[in-house]
Amino acid sequence: MSEITVAIRYAKSLIDLAIEQNALEEVNKDMDLFIRTIKANPQLNAVLANPIIYHDKKIKILEDIFANKVSKVTIAFFKLMVNKSRAEILYPAALELINQYDVKKNIVKASVVSAKALSEENKKTIIAEIEKSTGGTVKLSTKIDPELIGGFVLTVGDKQVDTSISSSLARLKRDFAHRVVPVAK
């Protein structure tokens, strides 16, 4: 079974348990903290994935880092994963839990890449339009890419809207290259 399939199953089980324990919001925040911690300290993920390090040591490390910061449900999940020799799946399971939570709560992820930083008003307008078309709540991430020259590239799920000047110029160049202009005689 692939790592992602296993991560999906564990994430689903954790969501079900969190709902049963009335702790879904808390567990979601815990997984977000876990993901941010792993991204900031990739050595932690290396330790969790290392089969030579004993389970007790991994649990102790996780408890030392997260004991006072996450719920008992999350700590129990960490222990279960480590004891089942699935510590290397913790990170992908946390990512998957966030994805499943977003689906359950109808949260839509969108990203905008623009040539210059977007104003708060522009961000609000984009969020409002996406919310109107999807009916969900929007998590918007922004990025600046000066090579776009102007305009933006908006990605929502698997859909993309490209209004960048660099893209328009590339289309024009392609169109000119493929058109045959008759020579006047």
Q: Is residue 108 within 8 Å of residue 157, measured between CB atoms?
A: yes
The string of pLDDT tens digits covering residues 162-184 is 888 888 888 888 887 777 556 56
List the domain range (segments joined by +) for residue 75: 3-103
CA 133 from chain centre, in angstroms, equals 21
Tokens of 6: 């296993």
Residue where a domain stops, chosen among 68, 88, 103: 103
Whether residue 1 is predicted with pLDDT greater than 70 in this model: the reply is no
Tokens of 69: 């910061």
What mean pLDDT is predicted for residues 31-55? 97
**What burial class does residue 71 get, using C-beta atoms within 10 Å of its C-beta: 0-12 exposed, 13-18 middle, 19+ buried?**
middle
Question: What local confidence, expressed as pLDDT, does residue 182 receive?
Answer: 60
- Number of domains present in the structure of the chain: 2
Please check whether residue 63 lies inside any domain of the structure. yes
Read off the pLDDT band of 46 (50, 70, 90): very high
Question: What local confidence, expressed as pLDDT, does residue 180 receive?
Answer: 58
CA 131 from chain centre, in angstroms, equals 19
Q: Are residues 85 and 163 in the same domain?
A: no
Write the CATH number for 53.
1.10.520.20
3-state secondary structure of 135: coil
As a whole number of angstroms, the distance between CA 89 and CA 97 comes to 12
Please check whether residue 127 lies inside any domain of the structure. yes
The string of pLDDT tens digits covering residues 47-80 is 999 999 999 999 999 999 999 999 999 999 999 9
Top-confidence range, 46-50, 144-148, 158-162: 46-50
Strand partners of residue 107: 137
Residue where a domain stops, chosen among 81, 103, 125: 103
What mean pLDDT is predicted for residues 108-125? 93
Which helix (H) or strand (E) segment holds residue 156: the answer is strand 152-156
Read off the pLDDT band of 185 (50, 70, 90): low
What mean pLDDT is predicted for residues 15-39? 97
Q: Are residues 92 and 170 in the same domain?
A: no
Q: Are residues 56 and 131 in the same domain?
A: no
Q: Are residues 18 and 44 in the same domain?
A: yes
Q: Are residues 134 and 169 in the same domain?
A: yes
Tokens of 157: 């799920």
Whether residue 43 is predicted with pLDDT greater than 60 in this model: the reply is yes
Reference 71, options 11, 7, 25, 20; nearest CA is 25
Share of the chain above pLDDT 70, in %: 96
Q: Are residues 113 and 28 in the same domain?
A: no
Reference 12, options 96, 121, 134; nearest CA is 96
As a whole number of angstroms, the distance between CA 15 and CA 172 comes to 49
